[in-house]
Structure 1
Amino acid sequence: MLSGLTLDQMRTFVTVVESGSFRSGAARLSRVQSAVSHSIANLELELGVALFDRSGHRPILTSEGQALLANVRDILLRVDAMRARALSIGDGVELELSLTVDTLFPIATIGAALAEMRIEYPTVSIRLAVEPLGGPIASLMEKRSALAIVVGEDFRDPRIALEAITSIEQVAVVSPGHPLALRPHGDIVGLPDLADHLQIVLSDPTSLSEGRSFGVLSPQTCRVGSQDTKHAMILAGLGWGRLPTWQVERDISDGRLRRLLANALGRNGQLASEAYVAHRLDKPLGPAAQAFRRALLRGLSR
């Protein structure tokens, strides 16, 4: 039975190892050497092994002591993490930051802001989802997330507070081998031309868009569940669609995608939508969520 083990004994053991001797360990702990020796002896008695070889001038870790040192350090690390979390709870810090991000928003920007938040609040866990269309708003209404990043004006609710943070630009694109890309350079693509070809569009995972259609101009559609799938299908030449500039600018510059000059899709096939940080009015942002928001705004201003 190890019921007599104490955290103090384990901390004393680690301190002696790190300081190199019982005397130095006692000085670091502001104790007399006999108290340190007694604590180590009790720890050895509880464990049933000798942690130090005391036959020489300085105590040397035995093989058993070397093996158990890693376990002791791991225990102390977990205890310190638990203590830090308990202090955070007492200060009102969230145990977890739950966040749903619109698929049109650059996820790398979110990652950088979350990493910055974790420096300030290292004990806060993160639950991150990426969803299209009504997903971010629905996550707030269903209390699946405390915070959301919303793009566009299509989904509003009076119970949701919105703060505009940046704009997201989308461009109409198609693969170089697609018939729409083979038109004369600078030729404006009309609505009838777009309607003659398959459009790749996102499906809404929620019921918020039931009976509504957003940006669908062709009767021929391929509905997909994620932005990455939409991107892949357009690259494959299956059809045309709008994608955020941050996702396709390299494809365009390298010739893997061509922009469509279609005024029906925005001036020169380009459309900008506002992006917002959103949360429920009845659920004010906690300290970690506020830290994430500040980090996100700093990142967007650079």
Structure 2
Amino acid sequence: MLDALTLDQLRTFVTVVDSGSFRSGAARLSRVQSAVSHAIANLEAELGLSLFDRSGHRPQLTGEGKALLANARDILLRVDAMRARARGLGEGVELELSLVVDTLFPIAKIGTALTAMRRDYPSVAIRLAVEPLGGPLTALLAGRSTLAVMAGENFRDPRVALEALCSIEVVAVAAADHPLAALTDGRAIGVAELADHLQIVQVDPTSLSKGRDFGVLSPQTSRVGSQDTKHAMILAGLGWGRLPLWQVERDLAEGRLVQLPAKDLGRQGRLHLEAYLAHRLDKPLGPAARAFSRALDQSSSPSL
């Protein structure tokens, strides 16, 4: 009966295949070879077929053995995952870590920190979203996320605790063939000159910035729904706008974009925004969230 199958038999089967022989499998399992042979024979009896052809110098998988090897691996993987998750639950580890990140923050640093967290808490699922402006704070307040990475000082709430991470440099840019690019001859570009051209502006998907504009200097605007779209439209020469330096550094170096030295947008058209890791005061962080927080703090350099 298949109900008599054991995990030990399946693990022995997979170990023998991976090690190449019964003898090597026994050594890897710290057992005598006869015990391994007996476990495989019992498994074959339960399945009613031969997993190995023993007629040669080394046992070779039969066609049936090859077909069932993937099933055995899958069962062991699921059992190991269940054990890891059970250990996590016993330690009070979260089932899921939900995180919303500001579009201005370099997502690669989030990936590095999540990878570090997963090494210690492999059973924790991850839910990650990237949202602009009021999105991260709204997600926290609505309970859609455990943690949020926020940029700048425009969104605050007394129910939310903040931990400073690093500085994000935002620069005003235009395509190399845009009319504003011809004005970057060492002098500052005035606000009147910027206002003569279309500005590409990121839309806030929340109501937190209702009635307010951040850094909008031109009466001519194209409002877009994502930072990638904003980047693409500026590259296409549609208009000018501000983007994080980490996103456009290569474009600037290779001449596709030029930086606009507009003092109205910060010194030399550069603005430094502080990035914060945020969480609700009434929602204490679990072990995985704390591990992610430590890893993100380590991966975030003083300046981006």
Question: TM-score scaled to structure 1, two decimals?
Answer: 0.90
Cross-structure match for 1:203: 203
Q: Distance in 2 between matches of 1:207 and 1:111?
A: 29
Q: Report if aligned partners of 2:22, 2:33 keep a CA contact under 8 Å in 1.
A: no
Task: Say if 1:229 and 1:53 are closer, same or farther in 2 by CA, change over 3 A.
Answer: closer
Taking only the aligned residue pairs, the percentage that are identical comes to 69
Which AA in structure 2 matches 1:126?
Answer: I
Cross-structure match for 2:186: 186
Task: Say if 1:176 and 1:10 are closer, same or farther in 2 by CA, change over 3 A.
Answer: closer
Q: Report if aligned partners of 1:202, 1:226 keep a CA contact under 8 Å in 2.
A: yes
Q: Indicate whether 1:262 and 2:262 are aligned.
A: yes
Cross-structure match for 1:239: 239
| Cα deviation, residue 231, structure 1 | 1.0
SS in 1 for 2:242: strand
Q: Distance in 1 between matches of 2:171 and 2:23?
A: 69
Which AA in structure 2 matches 1:250?
Answer: R
Cross-structure match for 2:21: 20
Alignment deviations for residues 271-296 of structure 1 (CA, whole Å, 9 cap, x no partner): 11110000111112221222222111
Alignment deviations for residues 133-156 of structure 1 (CA, whole Å, 9 cap, x no partner): 001111111111111110011111
Cross-structure match for 1:291: 291
Task: Say if 1:133 and 1:28 are closer, same or farther in 2 by CA, change over 3 A.
Answer: closer
Q: Structure 1 stretches of 5 or more lacking a match?
A: none
Larger deviation: 203-212 or 188-197?
188-197
Cross-structure match for 2:7: 7
Q: Distance in 1 between matches of 2:69 and 2:26?
A: 16
| Cα deviation, residue 59, structure 1 | 5.5
| Cα deviation, residue 31, structure 1 | 7.2
Q: Distance in 1 between matches of 2:218 and 2:201?
A: 10
Which AA in structure 2 matches 1:200?
Answer: I
Q: Report if aligned partners of 1:199, 1:222 keep a CA contact under 8 Å in 2.
A: yes
Q: Distance in 1 between matches of 2:46 and 2:71?
A: 15
Cross-structure match for 2:128: 128
Q: Distance in 1 between matches of 2:297 and 2:275?
A: 12
Larger deviation: 242-251 or 38-47?
38-47
| Cα deviation, residue 201, structure 1 | 0.5
Query: How well do the aligned residues superpose, as a CA RMSD in angstroms?
Result: 2.5
Matches within 5 A, 1:54-203: 60-183=60-183, 185-203=185-203
Which AA in structure 2 matches 1:20?
Answer: S
Query: How many residue pairs are counted as aligned between the two chains?
Result: 301
Q: Distance in 2 between matches of 1:15 and 1:138?
A: 50
Q: Structure 2 stretches of 5 or more lacking a match?
A: none
Larger deviation: 128-137 or 14-23?
14-23
